Structure 1
Amino acid sequence: MKCPFCNLEMMEGYLKAGRYVQFQEMENGRKGNQYLVAKSFMGDAKMEGYLCPSCRKVILDIPLVEEPPRR
């Protein structure tokens, strides 16, 4: 896959974390909603995606997690 920022080839792989991967929204410098992006009951939550080593950007496929955002 070509990087949409620098047009160089990206590396395919996955990002892994502990049990949960969460995204913290920021609204005017304050914490907003928190979204559960990935989870694993046994640890090592994984999200498939691409890494551009040149411009240091990551593009991820976020799995569907049936959980509403939290504050």
Structure 2
Amino acid sequence: MRCPYCNNEIEQGLLQGMRRVAWIKRQHKVSLLPKQGEVLLENNTFSDFLLQAHICKSCKKIVVDYSDKEIQEG
């Protein structure tokens, strides 16, 4: 898949979070201490979640796919 911003190849993974958010290559215990090749995103406003996501390490963008989630809109 290509990045919609810079057209470079992007890497498939997941966004996993509780009080901190991390892009990970595969799901693991929620310690959120980044492993090699993972990216930690600080943010204390999120609750527990796991979403399919692609990362572009060239332009530092993450594309999230939430099509398999039930979304409540206000």
Bucket of the pairwise TM-score, normalised by the shorter protein: 0.5 to 0.7
1:7-63 deviations in whole A, cap 9, x for unaligned? 1000100000118x9xxxxxxxxxxxxxxxxx6xxx5x1000100000000110122
Query: Which stretches in structure 2 are left out of the alignment for 5+ residues?
Result: 22-46
**Correspondence 1:48 to 2:48:** no
Query: Which stretches in structure 1 are left out of the alignment for 5+ residues?
Result: 22-38
Q: When you count strand as a share of all residues, which structure comes out higher?
A: 1
| Amino acid corresponding to residue 17 of structure 1 in structure 2 | G
Q: 4+ runs of 1 displaced by more than 2 Å?
A: none
- What TM-score do the two structures reach when normalised by structure 2? 0.52
Specify the structure having the higher radius of gyration (Cα): 1
Secondary structure at 2:58's aligned position in 1? coil
Paired residues in the alignment total 46
- What TM-score do the two structures reach when normalised by structure 1? 0.54
Measure, in 2, the Cα distance between the counterparts of 1:59 and 1:5: 10
Q: CA RMSD in A?
A: 2.3
Measure, in 2, the Cα distance between the counterparts of 1:68 and 1:56: 28
Match of 2:17 in 1: 17
